[in-house]
Each structure stands twice: as structure tokens, then as C-alpha cells.
Amino acid sequence: MIELTGTITNISPLHIGTGKKTGTFSKTLEYIPGRTIRGMVGYYLYNNNRKLFDDLKISEDSDMQKTRVFFKEAHPMFENSNSISSPLSLMWCKKCESLMQQDADECSAEIVGKKCLHEGKKIPGFITKNSITLKKLQKLKVTTQIETKCPIIRNGHTSPGSDYALSPYHIESIQPGTDFAFRCILEESYIADFKAALKKAGVFSGLGGYRSRGYGTVAIKNFKENQVNEIINKREREIANLSSTVIVANSPIILRLAENSVIGFDTVFSEYASKTSAYAGYDLSLQLSDKYQRISEAFAGGWSIKYGNRVSEIIPCIGHGSCAMISANDSKALASLEVYGVGEMTNSGYGDVYIMEGDL
């Protein structure tokens, strides 16, 4: 298996719908979900290269053993570096933006020979990895814009009168020229054809909503390929040197027991993690504490390729930045979770996690 990375740059405004509207206002997400990228590539391949579509099993939603490609969320980039979901456990100083110690009420960072002493706050969204290692916040926020559009009707596109049922609407979008970090995992034999499809899909299929109004054209470039086994071996050495380990949700995580969603890191999470490590060829045993967790709730949904592009079910799930202290029997098996993800629909970008050092 190969990790294929690259850069997604929007050539036109990009709108990634949240699934909710406020009146006539449509807000955008500030990242690109894996399911959105999967939909773009899947739609293009379904219409232009059905053999590759079938070989990659892009339409498979449930069985990791069947799919041959795992898409990941594309987060905004900072000075050519990838960003990560900010852990909910971390507290940052409101004034100097230093990382505060756990359970501290005020910042102990030194500023001009004196302690800062300001209070802290939790930071949602995306930060750089260096924020944690350097203990200094580097928060990412994309630049957005709002455009007002008039409905297109049979007689033209002029704004209808006040007595007409249609009214102008407002679209928030990410400004052109924004870079996002692309990442997916797939079998090596498909790399060349897959890269060619990615380049064409970004132009001819596009990403997100309102594509008929000129939104969503993207360029995917700067491809790099790395052997998954080499990535796991490198991360094994790094994880083994951590004094404590915290697992962080880098995307929403879908866990279910029978028909019920599970929100939290417990035995269900451990069972899903063991399935992932077994898929990668390892035997993982996790220990988690109910006490040392920070959880947010989110909802997963989207369009089903397999069932005629119909809206799929809405699934409660663990949100970005949720985290828990863990211990594991095998650092290599733990590293495999960062590659393949944990839970359901990992091929659509859900269940992406990373490991860091820390306490909760």
C-alpha cells in the first residue's frame, strides 16, 4: 500500500456545505471532507473509467477488506505544512497564545521577565503540529467571502420581484488560491491511473456545491508517494519514545454497537481499533480510561455513490479534536491506526486519528 499526498488548490471559489442553512445563507466548511473528495473522484471514474471505479471499490461503505482506497480529510495548509485538528484537552493563553499546563488557571509563560498570568481558552479548528511541540499556538483559518446570487428562472436570471416565491440567496465560499493537504491510501498498482483521474476530476467534476454557478474547480498537484510500511516503521520509533500517549480524532469517528452510535472511547473503540490493526497485519490491544477523555459530538452524512447518489443516513459520531489517554501493547500496531483510521467509513475520511504525547 502507498500513501499518496499532494496539494489541492481551489481555482474558483469553493463551497463545502454544512448541511444547514440560516435563511437564505449557506455557510461553508473550512476543510474538505474525505467523502467530498471520494465523491468527486468516484463520479468522474464512474462516467469515464468504470473499470478503475470497480477495481478500487470506491462505492464500498462498510467493509475495509473490500475497498482499495482510503480518502482522508484535506485540511488547510500553513506555509506548506499540513494542519491537524486541535485537541480538546489543550488550553491556550488568551494573551500570549502559549500552551498552558494541564489544570492551570493562569499562564505561566515568561514575558519580558514576568509571568503572563492570563487565563486560557480551548481552541477548536485546525492548528499546526509545531503548535504542540513548540508550545506556541499557530491556528489556521481560511479566508472566506460571501456572494449574493439571483435565482435562475426560465425567463432569465434577474432578481424576481417582491411578490415572487424565489428570492436572492447568499453563498459563503473559500477564496481561490487556498491550499489544502490531500492524502489517501491505495494499492501501488493503481497509482498512475489514479493520479491522472485526480487531475481531471478536479477540473471536470469539481468539489463541493454550486458547481453550476462556477464554484468548485480545483487543481491537485505536488504528488508524493511513500510506502505505508516505511511510514508505520518510522512512527513506531517515535511513538515508542513517548512518555504517555493520547489519541486524537483528526476527523469525525463513527462507532456503532448494533444500530446505536457510540460517542466516546471505550471497548467499542478498542474493538474497531483491533480490526484496523488486523487489516494492517498487527495484533493490537488497547487500554482506555473513562476518566481521561475529552469528547465532542458531530454528525456524519453525505451522498451514497452505491445507491444512486441519494442522501445517506445522518450518523451521530465523535467530533474533531476529541481525545483520550491510551496505552497499547504494540507501537507499530498503534501507528497503523494513523494510516488506516478507526471505525466505520474510513474510506470516506472518517476515523482519521493521530498520536501525541500528553496528559488529560
User: pLDDT, tens digit, for every residue of 10-64?
Assistant: 999 999 988 777 888 999 999 999 999 999 999 999 999 999 999 999 888 777 7
Residue 140 CA to residue 162 CA, distance in Å, equals 41
Residue 45 CA to residue 279 CA, distance in Å, equals 26
Q: What is the mean pLDDT of residues 115-143?
A: 91
pLDDT of 353 > 90? The answer is yes
Q: Say which residue, 43 or 163, is predicted with more confidence.
A: 43
Q: What's the chain's average pLDDT?
A: 90
35-39, 99-103, 227-231, 251-255: which range is least confident on average?
99-103
pLDDT band at 72 (very low <50, low <70, confident <90, very high): very high
Q: What is the mean pLDDT of residues 64-93?
A: 91
Grid cell at residue 352: 482519521
pLDDT band at 163 (very low <50, low <70, confident <90, very high): low
Q: Given this model, what pLDDT does residue 141 score? A: 85
Which three-class secondary structure state does DSSP give residue 334?
helix
Query: Candidates 3.30.230.10, 3.30.70.2660, 3.30.1360.120, 3.30.70.3270; correct CATH number of 2-81+142-162+170-228?
Result: 3.30.70.2660
Grid cell at residue 8: 489541492
Which three-class secondary structure state does DSSP give residue 261?
strand
Residues 6+ positions from 175 with CB-CB distance below 8 Å: 13, 142, 143, 144, 145
Grid cell at residue 205: 467534476
The per-residue pLDDT for range 254-311, each reduced to its tens digit, is 999 988 999 999 999 999 999 999 999 999 999 987 778 999 999 887 555 555 555 5
Domain extents in the chain: 2-81+142-162+170-228, 85-138, 230-356
Q: Given this model, what pLDDT does residue 190 score? A: 95
75-84, 213-222, 341-350: which range is least confident on average?
75-84
Start-to-end CA span in the chain (Å): 34
What's the Cα-to-Cα distance from 145 to each of 58, 75, 126, 215, rounded to whole Å? 33, 18, 19, 12
284 with 277: CB under 8 angstroms?
yes
For cell 473528495, the residue is 37
Which three-class secondary structure state does DSSP give residue 113?
coil
Q: Given this model, what pLDDT does residue 62 score? A: 72
Q: Given this model, what pLDDT does residue 160 score? A: 57
Grid cell at residue 130: 509545531
328 with 258: CB under 8 angstroms?
no
Q: Given this model, what pLDDT does residue 308 score? A: 58
Residue 252 CA to residue 33 CA, distance in Å, equals 10
Number of residues written out for the chain = 360
CATH numeric code, 230-356: 3.30.70.1900
Grid cell at residue 212: 453550476
Give the rounded percent of residues in the chain with a pLDDT score beyond 70. 93
The per-residue pLDDT for range 135-145, each reduced to its tens digit, is 999 998 899 99
Residue 28 CA to residue 31 CA, distance in Å, equals 9
Q: DSSP assignment, residue 65?
A: T
Q: What is the pTM of this model?
A: 0.90
Q: What is the mean pLDDT of residues 181-197?
A: 95
198 with 7: CB under 8 angstroms?
no
Residue 322 CA to residue 288 CA, distance in Å, equals 14
Same fold, 2-81+142-162+170-228 and 230-356: yes
